[in-house]
Structure 1
């Protein structure tokens, strides 16, 4: 039971995707299509916007 719960809350693949989306696929290991490229582009924009917003929120909270 504990092993299933641990596997359910595993976030390793999520962080792996965050780092993989900003690098080029040199091995040809992942499929290439126009839709996938657009999805990765939108994900890059949303990750950067999220990080900027977190930085702004932390600085506003720290300056109070």
Structure 2
């Protein structure tokens, strides 16, 4: 179980997956996915900034 703790494959796959034509798509679903991607991106940027401040400064 511990070796799967830092497995980023599913998270990265969320950003780079192709559109599946068999899945339904509507405005609400596209908006939800956009907001999820935006929040994950903002979290990663903030994490990088915090690590930079902690280790470099």
TM-score by length of 1: 0.61
Deviation at 1:44, TM superposition (A): 1.0
What's the C-alpha RMSD, in Å, of the aligned pairs? 2.5
Structure 2: state its 5+ residue gaps: none
**36, 51, 55: which one pairs with 1:58?**
51
**Which residue does the alignment assign to 2:27?**
34
Higher relative contact order (CA 8 A, sep 6+): 2
**45, 51, 58: which one pairs with 2:38?**
45
CA–CA distance in structure 2, aligned partners of residues 22 and 39 of structure 1: 16
Q: Name which one, 1 or 2, has greater alpha-carbon Rg.
A: 1
Deviation at 1:31, TM superposition (A): 1.7
Q: Count how many residue pairs are aligned between Structure 1 and Structure 2.
A: 53
Structure 1: state its 5+ residue gaps: 1-5
